[in-house]
Structure 1
Amino acid sequence: MLRPPRGAAEAGISRRCLSKWYVRWLVHGEDGLTDRSSRPVASPNRTSEDVADLVEALRRQTKYGSARLAAELARLHGITVAPATVHRVLVRRGLSRLRDIDPPTGEQLREVVRYEHERVGDTVHVDVKKLGRSPTGGGWRMHDRGTDAARASERTGPGTGRVGYTYLHAAIDGQSRPWTTRRR
């Protein structure tokens, strides 16, 4: 076996880690030292596309949840699949939420569109929030209707505050934050 260069302690890593990197460098050169995904190259136990197609078809026809779809697959087709596996297939196919499926047809209801503008000031998104102003000491919800404390909170004058609404405006530039809209 090849011996890695000394200096693992100086680099602050274990000899095993240094040995692994050294072998990668010998086999692949500089490219062997770049960051790689830890995702496996192949997943032999992944649910087959035929079963995933059956799950999708049943979901669109029946609108059942994961547990019931797993039971229907076993009853109708003799395929035993765990409800968690059915859920993973539904998530992968974008069907995990019923609100995204059109009830009569079973088709995809909404498409998510993301956009971000290139220059500052191209688009400004404004949101207005209506907030109720409560009198000092609370209103009738705090004291109940018709009580002396509730009537005192309705009076105008010093210390009572103005009853009504305050409008809070928030403006966000379209360049600084990507927005998501749902298109029907």
Structure 2
Amino acid sequence: MADQAARRRLLKVRIRRASQPLLPRGRTRTRTRTRTERRIIKVRVLRRWGPARIAGLLRLVPSTVHRVLTRYGLARLTHLDRATGRVIRRYERQRPGELVHVDIKKLGNIPDGGGHKVLGRQTGRKTRSNVGYSYLHTAVDDHSRLAYSEIHTDEKKETATSFWKRAHAFFAECGITVERVLTDNGACYRSHDWRDELARAGITHKRTRPYRPQTNGKVERFNRTLLDEWAYARPYRSEQERRDAFPGWLHTYNHHRGHTALKGQPPASRVPNLTGQYT
């Protein structure tokens, strides 16, 4: 009930703003009629649709819808929780190690000779059978965005636990004391092996709420970056070729690639003890 009341109040505010003239007199440029603006805002607030879908429903041009949404400062859909419509509040821990995000990304392997990016879509489909999957186990420090990642052939509890031992050692070598670890509710993270390993190191284990992957957003964002800048960045002719490129890309990410959340600086800038910072 509280969420519904909040949404109704938000809708009233948007409609009230839409009824106020924003353009000074004498301007020759026309603007969307107030009634249409109200309809656009109503659909956005209640259904949380993007400009294209709203335009299709109201029989408008998507650029017109986008212009109206921008004019009234409506948040981008990527900044909203789709279930509640609330703006997602970004946060950042105060020190390295206060919270480390851990996740596993499943990735289809590239067949020998290349996939559809090398051979074309029709031929590439024929070579995809029985090539299997890779599982990228990743740990990202919340404060610095420093990442440790390994490629494995499964996501079993033994693999996940062994990965964490090496990730923990990596952060320790960088002078980072891990206090808490955040994961999703995957089976490997609910195992006794995982629980006991964290307990031995005095690390608190926290899990995300079901169906709320944005809670683990730091590592989710890292996964999207590695897909764009490594996994699908260029046509690879084999899975081994792509794997061979991963360590170099990860080094660039940690030491050289500017991060928007860090004011254009790489994660290494927030970890003074990180070796190889300038190599």
TM over 0.5, shorter chain: no
- The structure with the greater share of residues assigned to helix is 2
> If the TM-score is normalised by the length of the shorter chain, which range does it land in?
0.3 to 0.5
Q: TM-score if structure 1 supplies the norm length?
A: 0.35
Q: TM-score if structure 2 supplies the norm length?
A: 0.26
**Structure having the higher Rg:** 1
